[in-house]
Amino acid sequence: MSKILVVADTKGSDVRKPTLELLTKTRADGLDTDVVVIGHGVKKNADLLAGQGAKTVYVADDPSLEIFSAGAYAAAVAEAVKQAQPAQVWLTVSELGRALGPTVAAKLGAGYIGDAATIELNGDDVVVTRPAMATKVQQRMTFNGGGVKVLGIRSGAFDAEEQPAGSANVVDLPAPPADPRVSVKELVQEDTGEIDLGEAPTVVSVGRGVKGQDGVEFVRPLVKELGAAYGASRAVVDSGWMPYNSQVGQTGRVVTPDVYFAIGISGAIQHLAGMSGSKLIIAVNKDPDAPIFSVADYGIVADLFKAVPVMIEEVKKHKGG
């Protein structure tokens, strides 16, 4: 049976939800699965990963791995590949994981397909569909020839199931030697404990229509009432009204929450590419012709400065608070 090696996606010392999505998929398909987790303080996740189906958890845990480095992480993955001998390596395409997949593939002389939204497995064959051209088309792709296949998968492609922790079979990997060419100078923590865009079941995003930082704060109580993550269009981020990693879009975060509120967002294709996979979309925009309405399940044509206070009131009411 083909073995899959899943590379865990981490934030700090925690494993992120997309990794649980990948493991839920391999579990559902009855695939023999190992996991490699890399970082600092990440060994604690071993039993969680075992509970999700990992037969062996390869751990590269070292202070030198706290900050992502494509070269160092790829070296750790390559070592896990050498020991686990998988047919496929699966990774989540995240802000940094995006570079890891191809680096691993280049190291192994393997093929790489990224942003897989669907995966069809047929013995050793893998066929994926992935969005391209700002999601205006889909590509059906496959691997040519033998050798390890490296697959980068979109977060939200599969559902994640909670599982009780297991008892991990851990293999410790040596930390790769530190790269003298790169040194970390500073960490500017932008998301001060706020809800992660990639994990939240509800996301509220604002666009140019909020007109400025005051507008961003004007909408924030709605975000809090909904217990949502707060996202933004590229225009908002480029204007400096919200931090960079709140950008939802083709070149920002791709999110697939249950509920997505797009407030004051026109709906340019680059933004839609980041959120059109949301289960339910509600848009507020005073322009009835805004393209966002073409993807919204519920479209509210209204001035957001009038609509948002009503929304806050209604959310409080319906939540029984």
* Residue numbers 196-255 binding other proteins by CB under 8 A: 202, 234, 237-238, 243-245, 247, 250-251
Residue with smaller CB distance to other proteins, 47 or 66? 66
Residues 54 and 48: their CA atoms lie apart, in Å, by: 9
Phi, psi of 254 (to 5 degrees): -100, 120
Query: Residue 31 in contact with residue 1, Cβ under 8 Å?
Result: yes
Nearest approach, Cβ of 96 to other proteins (angstroms)?
Answer: 6
- Three-state SS at 43: helix
Residues 65-94 within binding reach of other proteins (CB under 8 A): 67-71, 74, 94
Residue the block writes with tokens 């297991």: 166
Nearest approach, Cβ of 24 to other proteins (angstroms)?
Answer: 21
Please, which residues bridge with residue 33 across strands? 4
Q: Which stretch binds other proteins (CB under 8 A): 29-37, 55-63, 128-136, 161-169?
A: 128-136
Nearest approach, Cβ of 48 to other proteins (angstroms)?
Answer: 18
Residues 221 and 232: their CA atoms lie apart, in Å, by: 15
**29, 82, 139, 287: residue in contact with other proteins (rule CB under 8 A):** 139
- Three-state SS at 304: helix
Query: Residue 262 in contact with residue 281, Cβ under 8 Å?
Result: yes
Residues 254-313 within binding reach of other proteins (CB under 8 A): 258-259, 269, 276, 280-282, 284, 288, 293-303, 306-307, 310-311
**63, 82, 125, 133: residue in contact with other proteins (rule CB under 8 A):** 133
Nearest approach, Cβ of 69 to other proteins (angstroms)?
Answer: 8
**131, 207, 267, 274: residue in contact with other proteins (rule CB under 8 A):** 131
Report the half-sphere exposure of 51 (CA within 13 A, side-chain side).
13
Q: Which stretch binds other proteins (CB under 8 A): 47-55, 81-89, 177-185, 209-217?
A: 177-185
CA-closest candidate to residue 38, choices 16, 81, 7? 7
Residue with smaller CB distance to other proteins, 170 or 295? 295
**123, 164, 181, 214: residue in contact with other proteins (rule CB under 8 A):** 181
CA-closest candidate to residue 235, choices 198, 193, 202, 264? 264
Give Cβ neighbours of residue 280 (< 8 Å, ≥ 6 apart). 258, 259, 260, 297, 298
Residues 38 and 13: their CA atoms lie apart, in Å, by: 9
Residue with smaller CB distance to other proteins, 50 or 110? 110
Residues 15-54 within binding reach of other proteins (CB under 8 A): 16
Nearest approach, Cβ of 226 to other proteins (angstroms)?
Answer: 9
